[in-house]
Amino acid sequence: MTCNLTVIGLGYVGLPLASEACRAGLTVIGFDISSDVIEGLNAGQSHIDDVTNDDVSTMQDCGFVATGDPADLADGDVFVICVPTPLSDDGAPDLSAVVETSKLVGSVIGPGCLVVLESTTYPGTTAGTVRPLLELGSGLIAGIDFSLAYSPERIDPGNPTYGLRNTPKVVGGLTPACTERAVEFYGDIVETVVPTVGLGEAELAKLLENTYRHVNIALMNELAILCHELEIDLWASIEAARTKPFGFEAFYPGPGVGGHCIPIDPNYLSWVVRSIGYRFRFVELATEISERMPSYLVKRVQDLLNLVCKSVKGSTILLLGVTYKADVRDQRETPALPLATQLCELGAEVFFFDPYVEQFSAGGRSIPSIDDPELFASKCDLAILLQAHQDILNSPFIATYARILDTRGVLKGDNVEWL
């Protein structure tokens, strides 16, 4: 059955979904509140790493249009909500975009429609927040007049092997019939659909995946600090441990955690756990440990500069890679931010080199970018490798630096010290 799909929120999650749906032969409209996003896409320009301009042009050939006009949504059969779910200033879930979108969708859906929430959120959101707004706006009843489901996005930006199509898609509906309808819809777009017994299970699956990563990365971060004191090479231990063919999955330490998922999603879970009178101590501890990594790095910077009788104040420090992960341009929640802020506050002259980033600001200061890291080497007291972008790892300039603090355990040489 062909259907008219409306994707709401055309970011890292919504745009790849719209792209795959176009490839699958669906008629797709994208709705967003950002005029830059709408104008860019309608001009054939992608703003997302995993969707190329060629992909956008293929989408347009299939009839895709981006719009900010709610009137364009009237003919939709399926509505998939991919809007942001950040944390508010007090650390609580900020569902304002989900609420706004649910009101909008409620005003346009008719009998027989399917509405799916893909935004990451705590269990209970689809039934407790989205459902009443849809019912109020439409005058229809979920599970009877229209179908309602939750399906977490598992996109891994920059992953060359697993994309939307070949990553199994978890889907849970309000009723078994809603699940069936959502499974049928996604079955046209992805290779494998995994139905859950209900909405809450699908909502929790996403938070479980990210909390598992959050806790294990924090474990490695704490071990990195301890191993430095114990003079044990943690990376070598991880390589040894991962030879076990069962029961161990390798996670690695780093300068902290970044991106939209790991630093944020587990807090959605700990927030809902607090609302029922408990504390999710694993999540809170992991957050505390990983948030402390930039401060720990500052201490390591001080120690390294001490060795050559220098203070942080007045030293020239170069940050190599300021995005949140290797080989992507996404800077959200990057640990480079608190690190650069702290180094600037201590009086260091901080610069950055990142082939993916033109502008980087920290603590209200614009951090200058370096065009030629080889020329800069003679001026630099210390370089810190934060992200192992291939373009950085494969560059000969690494050997020209007097001192490099490598937070990824990937560089070799007498000038390199690992985290």
Ligand X SMILES: NC(=O)c1ccc[n+]([C@@H]2O[C@H](COP(=O)([O-])OP(=O)(O)OC[C@H]3O[C@@H](n4cnc5c(N)ncnc54)[C@H](O)[C@@H]3O)[C@@H](O)[C@H]2O)c1
Task: Write out the residues near ligand X by the rule CB under 6 A.
Answer: 8-14, 31-34, 37, 82-85, 97, 100-101, 119-120, 153, 155, 157, 260-261
Does residue 261 have an active-site annotation? yes
| Full DSSP string of 148-216 | EEE------TT-SS--TTTS-EEEEESSHHHHHHHHHHHHTTSS-EEE-SSHHHHHHHHHHHHHHHHHH
Q: Which is nearer to ligand X, 46 or 138 (CB)?
A: 46
Q: How far apart are the first and last CA of the chain?
A: 54
370 DSSP 8-state letter: P
C-beta closer to ligand X: residue 34 or 57: 34
Task: Give 372's Cβ-side CA count (13 Å radius).
Answer: 5
Q: How far is the CB of 215 from ligand X (least distance, A)?
A: 18
Cβ atoms 417, 411 nearer than 8 A: no
**Which of 119/331 has CB closer to ligand X?**
119
- Closest distance to ligand X from the beta carbon of 81 (Å): 8
Of the pair 68, 143, the CB lying nearest ligand X is at 68
CB 199 → ligand X: shortest distance, Å?
Answer: 16
Q: Measured at CB, which residue is nearest to ligand X?
A: 11
Cα–Cα distances (Å) from 393 to 157, 235, 240, 380, in that order, read 20, 17, 23, 18
Q: Which of 22, 113, 261, 344 is catalytic?
A: 261
Shortest Cβ distance from residue 33 to ligand X (Å)?
A: 4
Q: Which residues lie below 8 Å from residue 278, measured CB to CB, with a gap of 6+?
A: none
- Closer Cβ to ligand X, 262 or 367, answer by number: 262
Residues ≥6 apart with Cβ < 8 Å to 384? 255, 297, 301, 317, 318, 319, 320, 339, 404, 405, 407
Shortest CB 29 distance to ligand X, Å? 12
Q: Which sequence positions are flagged as catalytic?
A: 261
